[in-house]
Amino acid sequence: MSGKLGMWDRIRHRFRLRRWQTAKANGRLAEDLAHRYLEEIGYVVVARNYHSRNGDGELDLVARDGEMLVVVEVKSRETAAFGQPEQAVTKEKRLKLRRAALEYARRAQVPWDCVRFDIVSVVFDQAAAVTHHRNAYRL
């Protein structure tokens, strides 16, 4: 999917660039694009930027795909010159996501076998290129 930036996306992004560092503003823009993309393909986003109570981690997006609770990690890069964004999801990061997802699933009363991990990567070259990696890894 090619992530088309609408007028409000551009305005919101310019405002964020004035207040935040570029990497943080681009990360939030990537989350906006991922959120919109997931809704377009039928997911229902139920949480965004969920912080676990124990401070173990943050879940970028949590969505429903039918009966599945989907934990979505959003990664972005300005270009793919140094590799794809999804390569930045290390083993350590996966473990942090797992701990935060366990807490979220427990609080939402979702059985662990109904939890899936996806990655959405966004590369901001000419136009934002959004790539969805369904069931990206298992823990």
pTM of the model: 0.84
Q: Tens digit of pLDDT for each residue in 28-72?
A: 888 988 999 999 999 999 999 999 887 778 999 999 999 999 999
In the block, tokens 């972005």 appear at 76
pLDDT of residue 16: 63
Give 8's contacts (C-beta < 8 A, 6+ positions apart): none
Q: What average pLDDT does the chain have?
A: 85
Mean pLDDT of 121-139: 86
List, in order of start, the domains of the chain with CATH numbers: 2-137 (3.40.1350.10)
With 0-12 / 13-18 / 19 or more C-beta atoms within 10 angstroms meaning exposed / middle / buried, residue 38 is buried
Cα 38 to Cα 19: distance, rounded to the nearest angstrom = 27
**Residue 36: Cβ-neighbour burial (10 angstroms; 0-12, 13-18, 19+):** middle
Report which of residues 50 and 81 the model is more confident about: 50
Instruction: Using the predicted structure, report yes or no on whether residue 1 has a pLDDT greater than 50.
Output: no
